[in-house]
Amino acid sequence: MLLILINTNYEDALDYLLRNVGDENALAITSDAIITWKSRASIERSLMSLKEKIISKVSGEGDIEFSYAVIELSDDQLGSLRTMIRDALVKLDRETYRHIDSIRNRLGRISEKRLETEMRFLNKRFNSLMLLHNKFKVMTPDTEKMIDLMKELKIMLGNKK
């Protein structure tokens, strides 16, 4: 696994890098640190793309700050980050739970097209999150609640048809 540390004055750097690497291939554990299992070469390409993005966005606006470090993690080092990994996954579980609950509560009031769009987004997010949980071998009560609510939503959608 690789730990990517980023220092920049470009606010969207972390989100850009996560999208570029793939939500199912990386986990942000802090506002400037990501853990991933993608290859170093792939990460370097993503970081160079981010650098180009930052230069194009920030040019003319003053000083550009951008530095990064890519660190290969040993099993012991990864183990010492388990609490941060767990906390990041719990946060994502809770956000996803709220999203599922929001859709469930609006089922009778949103258009079929809007529901289809939201479910496509939710399914992608949910599946990516489950891949992260499986990769890091972390399951919490929040994860179980989220899975149960997702099952409930899918049953409600099945009954609606």
> 11-44: per-residue pLDDT in tens?
889 999 999 998 889 999 999 999 999 999 999 9
Q: Does 146 lie in the same domain as 88?
A: yes
Do residues 2 and 70 lie in contact, with contact meaning Cβ atoms separated by under 8 Å?
yes
Q: Does 11 lie in the same domain as 70?
A: yes
The model's pTM is 0.87
Q: What pLDDT was estimated at residue 11?
A: 84
CATH assignment of the domain containing 11: 3.30.70
Q: What is the Cα–Cα distance from 18 to 95, expressed in whole angstroms?
A: 17
Q: What is the Cα–Cα distance from 28 to 89, expressed in whole angstroms?
A: 9
Q: Does 68 lie in the same domain as 87?
A: no
Q: What is the tens place of the pLDDT at every residue in 102-133?
A: 999 998 898 999 999 999 999 999 999 999 99
Q: What percent of the chain has pLDDT over 70?
A: 96
Do residues 23 and 128 lie in contact, with contact meaning Cβ atoms separated by under 8 Å?
yes
Q: In which domain, by residue range, is 100 found?
A: 82-160
